[in-house]
């Protein structure tokens, strides 16, 4: 009797579940989702190509790593990342907003703890270890655009709230916490996303000049106080030795020509540090050719273009700002990594989003893309008015 009684409930649950999936599929930005999955598939192949070089480099007399050691680990992290992305993309816009605010605030608090109880690796203190290793700055990328968009959107409800001052104060706090680690690369990335979002919010041009001046002053201060950053800038401007990481990366990238040497046929990658993470773009160039690198650049541009097109007829200020922030972070990280591999930008220690090997960075990037998909969900049958910056008033 119990089984018969539960039958109708189970059927209703299954119907509701199918209905929710159908609604998600209708509202989700499917082209962006497909492009993200393509990049992750390319990443799996690329990590398999770069894994032998890193495994050999990191093997010791005590422990010899298998050639595909990092590939197997990467597949596990990718599965976890996919779960996080699909879960986040299933959230309603309101739920994604709440989750992003809580996550952003929690990671800001975690960054306060890093200088106090954080673990130091290679001269930088960026990790918290409480049973598991956590890099707060990686997961802050998931909440930063939403947190900032939420603060800016207060102005639409109450023009008297000094949202500009609050945003600059939060950005100043974040920059100071990141440079205490020190992490100049992440500081640049978050500042770039901040600048894009503030520009879209309609801020007065004079304040943009103030922000630019503060950025230049911070760069000068970093140059004279941060030895590692100064050395990287000097090597980029005046040239380093033939064995510098960036020089090796460029040589590796160009070694494959247009079509590449073939999978696992690369030779220069064996001398390349971080072949499976920071310099995986060079490994792709050597083994699959410059044409493959061109395809990857096009895929990144396609995602950014798709996000912009998605926002063209969006009337909600929060959605425009949050999605633009996610796109700025994603595109900024991708092209900084690519420019470093091309020796067109100083080395920053950034991974290639959705392609490089990573633990928390892979999960965090997938979660970010899931939240991007969540905040841009829309009913395709509802006609929308186009978004206008004039509608939100003067931000000066």
Q: What predicted TM-score, i.e. pTM, was given to this entire model?
A: 0.85
* 384 in any annotated domain: no
d(CA 314, CA 307) in angstroms, rounded, equals 11
In a domain, 277, yes or no: yes
* Tokens encoding 396: 């000066």
Task: Tally the domains of the chain.
Answer: 1
For residue 360, what are the β-bridge partners? Answer: none
Query: Under a CB-based contact definition with an 8 Å cutoff, are residues 322 and 41 in contact?
Result: no
Average pLDDT of the chain to the nearest whole number = 83
pLDDT at position 272: 84
Say what the pLDDT of residue 298 is. Answer: 96
Based on the number of CB atoms within 10 Å of its own CB, is 217 exposed (0-12), middle (13-18) or buried (19 or more)? exposed
- Token pair in block for residue 143: 């909440």
Q: Which residue has the higher pLDDT, 158 or 298?
A: 298
Whole-number pLDDT of residue 393: 45
With respect to residue 57, please indicate whether it lies within any of the assigned structural domains.
Answer: yes
- Least-confidence region, from 3-17, 179-193, 206-220: 3-17
Is residue 19 a contact partner of residue 42, using CB atoms and an 8 Å limit?
no
DSSP strands (E only) in the chain: 119-121, 124-129, 133-134
Between residues 8 and 394, which one has the greater pLDDT? 8
- Strands of the sheet containing 119-121, edge to edge, are 119-121, 124-129, 133-134
Cβ count near 364 (within 10 Å): 26
Task: Output phi, psi for 392, to 5 deg.
Answer: -100, 0
Q: Residue with structure tokens 């096009």?
A: 298
Tell me: the pLDDT tens digits for 130-182?
A: 767 788 889 999 999 999 999 988 877 777 778 888 888 899 899 888 888 87
pLDDT for 20 beyond 90: no
- Does 316 map to a domain? yes
**134 φ, ψ to 5°?**
-130, 130
Is 269 part of a structural domain of the chain?
yes
Structure tokens, 2? 């119990």
Question: Using one digit for the tens of pLDDT, what is the confidence trace for 199-209?
Answer: 887 766 666 66
- Per DSSP, 123 falls in state T
Q: What is the pLDDT of residues 220-262, one digit of tens each?
A: 666 666 666 666 666 656 555 444 677 788 888 888 889 889 8
Query: What percent of the chain stands above pLDDT 90?
Result: 39
- ∠ CA 309-310-312 to the nearest 5 degrees? 60
**Mean pLDDT of all residues in 332-348:** 85
11-20, 77-86, 169-178 — most confident range: 77-86
pLDDT band per the 50, 70, 90 thresholds, residue 363? very high
For residue 30, tell me if it sits in a domain. Answer: no
Strand (E) or helix (H) holding 84: helix 69-89
The answer as to whether 25 is a domain residue is no
pLDDT band at residue 389, thresholds of 50, 70 and 90? Answer: very low
CA distance 58 to 18: 47
Token pair of 101 as six digits:
């605010």
Residue 67: partners with Cβ closer than 8 Å, 6 or more residues away:
51, 52, 55, 56
Residue 83 lies in a domain: yes
- The parent domain of residue 194 ranges over 37-378
Name the band, by pLDDT with cuts 50, 70 and 90, for residue 292. very high
DSSP annotation of 387 reads P
Q: Residues 23-74: pLDDT tens digits? A: 888 889 999 999 999 999 999 999 999 999 888 888 877 888 888 999 999 9
Contact 162, 95 (CB under 8 A): no
Q: What share of the chain is helix, strand, coil (3-state, %, to 5)?
A: 70, 5, 25
pLDDT band at residue 392 using 50, 70 and 90 as cut-offs: very low
């Amino acid at each position: 009797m119990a089984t018969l009684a539960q039958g109708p409930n189970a059927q209703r649950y299954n119907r509701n579940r199918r209905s929710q999936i159908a609604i998600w599929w209708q509202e989700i930005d499917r082209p962006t989702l497909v492009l993200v999955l393509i990049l992750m598939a390319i990443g799996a192949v690329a990590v398999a190509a770069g894994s032998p070089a890193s495994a050999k480099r990191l093997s010791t007399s005590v422990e010899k790593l298998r050639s595909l050691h990092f590939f197997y680990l990467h597949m596990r992290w990718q599965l976890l990342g996919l779960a996080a992305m699909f879960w986040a993309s299933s959230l309603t816009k309101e739920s994604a907003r709440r989750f992003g605010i809580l996550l952003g605030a929690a990671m800001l608090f975690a960054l306060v703890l890093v200088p106090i109880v954080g673990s130091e690796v290679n001269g930088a203190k960026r990790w918290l270890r409480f049973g598991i290793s956590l890099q707060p700055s990686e997961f802050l990328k998931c909440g930063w655009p939403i947190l900032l968009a939420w603060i800016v959107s207060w102005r639409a409800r109450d023009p008297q709230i000094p949202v500009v001052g609050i945003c600059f104060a939060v950005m100043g706090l974040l920059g100071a916490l990141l440079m205490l680690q020190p992490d100049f690369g992440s500081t640049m990335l978050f500042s770039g996303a901040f600048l894009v979002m503030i520009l879209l919010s309609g801020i007065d041009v004079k304040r943009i000049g103030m922000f630019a001046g503060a950025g230049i002053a911070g760069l000068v201060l970093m140059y004279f106080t941060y030895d590692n950053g100064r050395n990287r800038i000097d090597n980029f401007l005046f040239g380093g030795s033939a064995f510098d990481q960036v020089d090796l990366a460029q040589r590796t990238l160009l070694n494959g020509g247009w079509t590449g040497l073939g999978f696992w046929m690369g030779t220069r990658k064996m001398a390349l540090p971080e072949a499976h993470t920071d310099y995986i773009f060079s490994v792709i160039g050597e083994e699959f050719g410059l044409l493959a690198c061109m395809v990857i650049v096009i895929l990144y541009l396609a995602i950014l273009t798709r996000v912009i097109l998605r926002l063209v007829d969006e009337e909600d200020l929060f959605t425009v700002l949050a999605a633009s922030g996610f796109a700025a972070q994603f595109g900024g990280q991708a092209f900084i990594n690519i420019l470093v591999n091309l020796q067109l930008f100083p080395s920053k220690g950034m991974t290639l989003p959705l392609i490089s090997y990573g633990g928390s960075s892979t999960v965090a990037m997938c979660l970010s893309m899931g939240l991007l998909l969540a905040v841009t969900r829309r009913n395709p049958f509802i006609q929308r008015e186009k978004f206008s910056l004039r509608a939100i008033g003067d931000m000066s």
